[in-house]
Amino acid sequence: MNKSYESKSAIIILYGSSEYKTLDKKLNGQLDTMCSANSIDSKDTLEVEMTYPSKVNTQAICVIKTDKGATSDNDWRNVGGKYYNKYKEQVEHVYFDDEMPKEVYDGAMLAKYSFSKYKTKDTPTYATIHVDDVDTIETLHESVYFSRDLVSEPGNVLYPAEYAKRINDTLSPLGVNVKIYHQAQLEEMGLSLLLSVGQGSARDSYVVVMEHMNGKNGDSPIALVGKGVTFDTGGISLKPGRNMGDMKYDMGGSAAVVGAMHAIANHKLKQNVIGIVGLVENMPDGTAIKPGDVVTSLSGLTVENLNTDAEGRLVLADILTYVQNEYSPRCIVDLATLTGAIVQTLGHEMAGLFTNSTMWGDVITDAGKEGGEGFFRMPMGENWNKMTDSKIADMQNIGGPYGGSSTAAEFLYRFVDQKTPWAHLDIAGMAWNRENKDTCPVGAVGFGVATLYNLVNSDFPSEMPIDGPMKY
């Protein structure tokens, strides 16, 4: 830690660390006296604060004692976020003890994020964070921030064409080969399901493919697939007006993929990775798809659209087919703010995970834990699959009134080569915060970026058995 502190600063130190001992010596044992008086040794966790200490040029010293053996990485992130939030508007600098786990700094940086570009006054200014010996954590924050920025942008600013441009402008300089397919090309290619979602909009639809081929020559890539509905009115099946403004975050799955590709390229990971996102705007209009319309997918399967607000699965279905046809990936994970049903089931605590491979699901869950992102495996099965059978087409885009997240996953599974490890992550409850949390203010979370990065950066098995979806 920097031993010369700014006067308008707060110091967050670990009880018993070398910096603690140094500061205690400067203060003639006052830290030890204060900690003993507060019985710091008798509790697992404790915060003790000394304000305006003599002989140390700082505003506050906060001593943190934590039981390392019982503390998870995410707990450490919350420590960093909590104490940064406590001081960020009171001081100009916050110093973190170098002996704290890097996750503390991680949490502080996540907490520092603010999206205020459209404020013309009262723009928040937060304290600078100081810590030594940080390597990969800071650059991952850049990726999370990028994802949050994308999700935070209003729909009139970030529409499909602009989104595609930002992806190219940001990722191409990092060495990612970005391919942008515009409306006319998609029509020729046959991505009719995806195009049907956007046909009521005055704005064209796009698909963006991001190639990071930095692994062994000839190795099949990992495919990361994201739903990018830049604004979702529900189409003809119009959503209620209340909270519709939040529907700018319906591209949170794509933002996770884009943010992860940013982190993967920034760190030059030795893997072959394909990121693909479908970018559309779902609007009601005289040209919009109607309930009851039948559309032929890229796979050749026909879909009866019974609810135009169940549009994300149509976008994903076509790009899942495309990435399999073009790249033959060794494993696939798709992310989407797909269903309100998953929010009813899991709230805003965890995302739903659906998979055809227990091992692949475990790999993703472990990658999420490392990044402080939680997943709960959800069931699928023939009964949910039958709910998406159509009387006039191969399938319909909704099931019955119940089990909506499972029927949506079963719909997607019809477009997946069942010999390929696949997972669907329904992040509808996790992409957007409605209240401040330790590591994220109200607004976009950037959920999924850390999971996907850790996943690609992990040494998971090259062969993963397909044991089928978890059943009840």
Query: pLDDT confidence of 3, banded at 50, 70, 90?
Result: low
Do 30 and 171 lie in one domain? The reply is no
Residue 32 CB neighbour total at 10 angstroms: 18
Question: What pTM, to 2 d.p., does this model score?
Answer: 0.95
Give dist(CA 162, CA 393) in Å, integer. 35
Do 180 and 321 lie in one domain? The reply is yes
C-beta of residue 421 within 8 angstroms of C-beta of residue 461: no
Instruction: Encode the chain in three state secondary structure.
Output: CCCCCCCCEEEEEECCCHHHHHHHHHCCCHHHHHHHHCCHHHCCCEEEEEECCCCCCCCEEEEEECCHHHCCHHHHHHHHHHHHHHHCCCCCEEEECCCCCHHHHHHHHHHHCCCCCCCCCCCCCCCEEECCCCCHHHHHHHHHHHHHHHHHCCCCCCCHHHHHHHHHHHHHHHCCEEEEECHHHHHHHCCHHHHHHHCCCCCCCEEEEEEEECCCCCCCCEEEEEEEEEEECCCCCCCCCCCHHHHHHHHHHHHHHHHHHHHHHHCCCCCEEEEEEEEEEECCCCCCCCCCEEEECCCCCEEEECCCCCCHHHHHHHHHHHHHHHHCCCEEEEEECCCHHHHHHHCCCCEEEEECCHHHHHHHHHHHHHCCCCEEECCCCHHHHHCCCCCCCCEECCCCCCCHHHHHHHHHHCCCCCCCCEEEEECCCCCEECCCECCECCEECCCCHHHHHHHHHCCCCCCCCCCCCCCC
**Residue at 117 is within a domain:** no
Of residues 165, 166, 239, 330, which has the active-site annotation?
239
Task: Please determine, for residue 101, whether its predicted confidence score (pLDDT) is greater than 80.
Answer: yes
Each residue of 260-305: pLDDT tens digit?
999 999 999 999 999 999 999 999 999 999 999 999 999 999 999 9
Give catalytic status of residue 313 as yes or no: yes
Give catalytic status of residue 242 as yes or no: no
**Residue at 124 is within a domain:** no
- CATH code, domain with 353: 3.40.630.10
Task: Give the least confident one: 58-67, 295-304, 368-377, 453-462.
Answer: 58-67
The single residue listed with the structure tokens 């997943």 is: 375
Using CA atoms, how far residue 4 sits from 130, 210, 282, in Å, is: 12, 45, 55
Q: How far is CA 364 from the centre of its chain?
A: 13
**Residue at 332 is within a domain:** yes
Of residues 102, 148, 313, 414, which has the active-site annotation?
313
**Residue at 240 is within a domain:** yes
**Residue at 54 is within a domain:** yes
Number of domains composing the chain: 2
The pLDDT of residue 472 is: 62
Do 108 and 189 lie in one domain? The reply is no
Task: Please determine, for residue 329, whether its predicted confidence score (pLDDT) is greater than 80.
Answer: yes
Do 166 and 77 lie in one domain? The reply is no
**Residue at 154 is within a domain:** yes
Task: Please determine, for residue 9, whether its predicted confidence score (pLDDT) is greater than 70.
Answer: yes
Tell how strand 93-96 and strand 222-232 pair up.
unpaired
Do 197 and 58 lie in one domain? The reply is no
Do 25 and 61 lie in one domain? The reply is yes
Which residue range(s) make up the domain with 33? 9-112
Give dist(CA 303, CA 390) in Å, integer. 8
Do 142 and 108 lie in one domain? The reply is no
Do 146 and 94 lie in one domain? The reply is no
Do 24 and 170 lie in one domain? The reply is no
Each residue of 386-409: pLDDT tens digit?
999 999 999 999 998 899 999 999
Each residue of 129-160: pLDDT tens digit?
998 766 556 668 999 999 999 999 999 999 99
Do 192 and 78 lie in one domain? The reply is no
Task: Please determine, for residue 353, whether its predicted confidence score (pLDDT) is greater than 90.
Answer: yes
The dihedral through the CA atoms of 63, 67, 68, 73 has a sign that is negative
**Of 97, 112, 127, which residue sits at a domain end?**
112
Mean pLDDT of the chain: 94
Task: Please determine, for residue 164, whether its predicted confidence score (pLDDT) is greater than 80.
Answer: yes
% of the chain exceeding 90 in pLDDT? 85
Do 143 and 199 lie in one domain? The reply is yes
**Nearest by Cα to 406 from 375, 389, 382:** 382
What is the token pair recorded at 199?
A: 């046909």
**Residue at 126 is within a domain:** no
**Residue at 469 is within a domain:** no
% of the chain exceeding 70 in pLDDT? 97
- CATH code, domain with 41: 3.40.220.10
Do 166 and 72 lie in one domain? The reply is no
**Of 58, 78, 112, which residue sits at a domain end?**
112
